[in-house]
Amino acid sequence: YLVPVVILIVGPATWVEKFPEARGTRQSPVDIVTSRASSGGSAPPLVWRYSVNHPRSVVNPGYCWRVDENGYDSELRGGPLGSDVYKLQQWHCHWGSVNGEGSEHTVDGRAFSGELHLVHWNTSKYNSFTEAAGQPDGLAVLGVLLMVGSKHDELDKVVRLLPYIQHKGDKVTFSEPLNPANLLPKRIAYWTYPGSLTTPPCTESVTWILFKEPVQVSAEQVRLNLCYYVNGKNV
């Protein structure tokens, strides 16, 4: 007898139905094949400046957590960004359901425990984040690979708030000074490529800047992130 086989396709494979961009030519994330990366040559230095003392809110958007910068001033320029100035809109993280496989980008096939994304938009050319999110040079995302090691004090200012935003849509505002620059690795060498949002609508509007050096977070910080987020669902 024939066994009825039902293949339930969920996740990225179904995104193309609703988001045609997902079928594009510059889709992220990618595997960084280090032997094929060309050297940066004479690219100007990447420069950033973030405001520290302003109220920020941590939101549970339904996948992991997101910190909104609430329009406060910041600047990202140089590197692959030409003469345009970008502004930090929000930052968020991606964790896996199992330790050691949470990152979106992989490096020579290796995944990391998590990945932090600092999302900036091009204020030289566009008037809003939403407008920029639809343009090929609209967004620039700094990617930071996370690996288990020593506790990360700056990140802990967010991680310790997670118990208060356990469900999708929950939001908590904090005013403790926090400098997003402290989330970046010491060595600022990076890979860069033209890509897309890694989640729907997968718009091909992101200049990706992925730092080579992973940043360490403690096993407890990974566990705290995981316990509110298993298999892409908030539990």
- DSSP secondary structure code for residue 84 in this structure: -
The closest alpha carbon to 28, from 76, 80, 94, belongs to 94
Return the exposure string of 192-203: e unless at least 16 CB atoms fall within 10 Å of the residue's CB, then b: bbebbbbbebbb
Q: Could you tell me the smallest distance in angstroms from the CB atom of residue 202 to Zn ion?
A: 12
Give the interface size with ligand DF5 as a residue count (CB under 6 A).
10
Contact pick of 56, 66, 105, 117 for Zn ion (by CB under 5 A):
117
Residue 110 vs residues 40, 102, 105, 147, 218: alpha-carbon distances, Å: 23, 11, 9, 12, 19
Stretch that binds ligand DF5, among 38-46, 105-113, 181-189, 197-205 (CB under 6 A): 197-205
Q: According to the binding rule CB under 6 A, does residue 197 interact with ligand DF5?
A: yes
Residue 29 vs residues 18, 151, 152, 205: alpha-carbon distances, Å: 19, 26, 25, 13
Stretch that binds Zn ion, among 1-9, 111-119, 132-140, 170-178 (CB under 5 A): 111-119
**Site for ligand DF5, residues 103 to 122, rule: CB under 6 A:** 117, 119
Q: According to the binding rule CB under 6 A, does residue 130 interact with ligand DF5?
A: yes
How far is CA 48 from its chain centroid?
16
Tell me the three state secondary structure of residue 180.
Answer: helix
Q: Could you tell me the smallest distance in angstroms from the CB atom of residue 61 to ligand DF5?
A: 7
Nearer to ligand DF5, 119 or 217 (CB): 119
Q: According to the binding rule CB under 6 A, does residue 209 interact with ligand DF5?
A: no
Residues 137, 140, 144: CA angle, nearest 5 degrees: 155
Q: According to the binding rule CB under 6 A, does residue 199 interact with ligand DF5?
A: yes
**Gap between the Cα atoms of 226 and 235, Å rounded:** 10
Q: Could you tell me the smallest distance in angstroms from the CB atom of residue 65 to ligand DF5?
A: 13
Q: Could you tell me the smallest distance in angstroms from the CB atom of residue 90 to Zn ion?
A: 10
* Binding residues for Zn ion (CB under 5 A): 117
* Binding residues for ligand DF5 (CB under 6 A): 117, 119, 130, 133, 141, 197-199, 201, 206
